[in-house]
Each structure stands twice: as C-alpha cells, then as structure tokens.
C-alpha cells in the first residue's frame, strides 16, 4: 500500500483523473489528498464553522467521486472540486442556516466591496425574519448566476480571496477575473432589483 501511494504521488493530476474515471479509488484518494486542505479552507471561509465545513467537504468529495466520469478535464481538477465545494456550502447556507451578513455590491474606484451589515442583533422578530428572507433571496439569486460568473463572485466576495488568488484558483488571468466579477455583480444587482419590484 505504501509503495502504491508513493507511485501515485508521482502521477500528474490529469493522469490521476483518468485513472479515477476508470473507477480507480486509490487514484481518486490521491486527488483528495492533494486538494483536501484547500477545500477545507474554502469551506470554512464560507460557512465559518469547522464542523459544517468538514461535513460539506466530505459531501463534496462523495459527489465528485460519483460524477468524476462527467469531468471533461477542461479545467484543473482542483478548480472543479473547488466549484463543487462552493456549491455545497451555498446549498447548506440556503437550506440550513441562512446568513447573518449580506454583502451588497457598491463598486468604488478601487473595486473593493463596501460591506453592509443587514441584520441587527437587537432587531425585532419581524425585522429579523425580514432580513433572513433577504439573505435567502440573495443566496438563491447567487445560485442562479451562470457558473462562470457565480464561481468568481463567490470566491472574490464571499470567500474574500484576492483577485490574484481567484485567478490562480480558477486558472484564469487577473483581467478575466475582474471582467467576470463586474458582470456577476451587475447581473446579481439586476436580479435582486427585479425580485424587489415583483415582491
């Protein structure tokens, strides 16, 4: 077993993915070993709870194993698993907990997000309920963004990674990240405005 692990450690990710797609559990295990730390950090940054993060990372790898045959290898495996982790965490936020903070995008000249605390801990039950509803709407609309826009938005504005870190995580240029982030913020704002008008 030790010799097998040592052999797999010499494989490139793409080679391991090919083996995993042929039902090689050991190859998939090596991919998990390589990406588990970054996946956990990503989950913690979204959920702010280590136990919940562990649960969703496990769920993410189970889902990845079930669907690894559908992975087209157009991006890195680490990018693919990061997307699954983000989606799992957002699903948990929507279904289980809701969030205390909602970040509304007001892009300044330095392209930094201004953060607004929506929920007041001393608020009345009615206000508290309303803010939870707003949070739920926000996360639903984020989930409906096209994947290419959603992943950049979540990593940059939810995970609070730098532009360079997002570019590295997704295998993109910094300028592409900035472009997609701007498009994502605009589309999210339009979706939220439309929801408010029909509410």
Please give the Cα distance from 107 to 182 (Å, whole number). 9
Helix 77-92 with 25-47: angle, nearest 10 deg:
50
The CATH classification of domain 100-199, taken from the options 3.20.20.80, 1.10.10.10, 3.40.630.10, 1.10.10.1100? 1.10.10.10
Annotated domain spans of the chain: 1-97, 100-199
Question: With a threshold of 0.85, does the pTM exceed it?
Answer: no
Highest mean pLDDT among 17-26, 46-55, 110-119, 166-175: 17-26
Give the other-Cβ count within 10 Å of 85's Cβ.
Answer: 26
pLDDT of residue 146: 87
- Averaged pLDDT, 6-14: 84
**Percentage with pLDDT > 70 across the chain:** 74
Q: Do domains 1-97 and 100-199 have the same CATH topology?
A: no
Whether the CB-CB separation of 97 and 49 falls below 8 Å is answered with no
The CATH code of the domain at 1-97 is: 1.10.1740.10
């Amino acid at each position: 077993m030790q010799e097998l692990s040592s052999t797999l450690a010499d494989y490139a990710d793409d080679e391991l993915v090919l083996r995993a797609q042929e039902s090689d559990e050991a190859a998939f295990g090596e991919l998990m070993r390589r990406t588990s730390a970054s996946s956990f950090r990503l989950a913690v940054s979204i959920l702010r709870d280590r136990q919940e993060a562990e649960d969703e990372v496990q769920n993410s790898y189970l889902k990845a194993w079930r669907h690894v045959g559908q992975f087209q290898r157009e991006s890195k495996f680490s990018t693919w698993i990061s997307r699954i982790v983000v989606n799992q965490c957002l699903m948990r936020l929507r279904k289980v907990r809701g969030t205390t903070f909602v970040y509304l995008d007001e892009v300044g000249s330095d392209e930094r997000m201004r953060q607004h605390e929506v929920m007041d801990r001393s608020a009345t039950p009615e206000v508290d309920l309303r803010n939870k509803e707003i949070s739920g709407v926000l996360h639903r609309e984020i989930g409906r963004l096209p994947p290419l826009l959603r992943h950049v938005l979540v990593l940059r504005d939810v995970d609070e990674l730098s532009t360079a870190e997002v570019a590295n995580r997704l295998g993109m240029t910094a300028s592409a990240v900035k472009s997609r982030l701007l498009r994502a913020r605009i589309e999210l704002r339009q979706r939220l405005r439309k929801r408010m008008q029909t509410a």
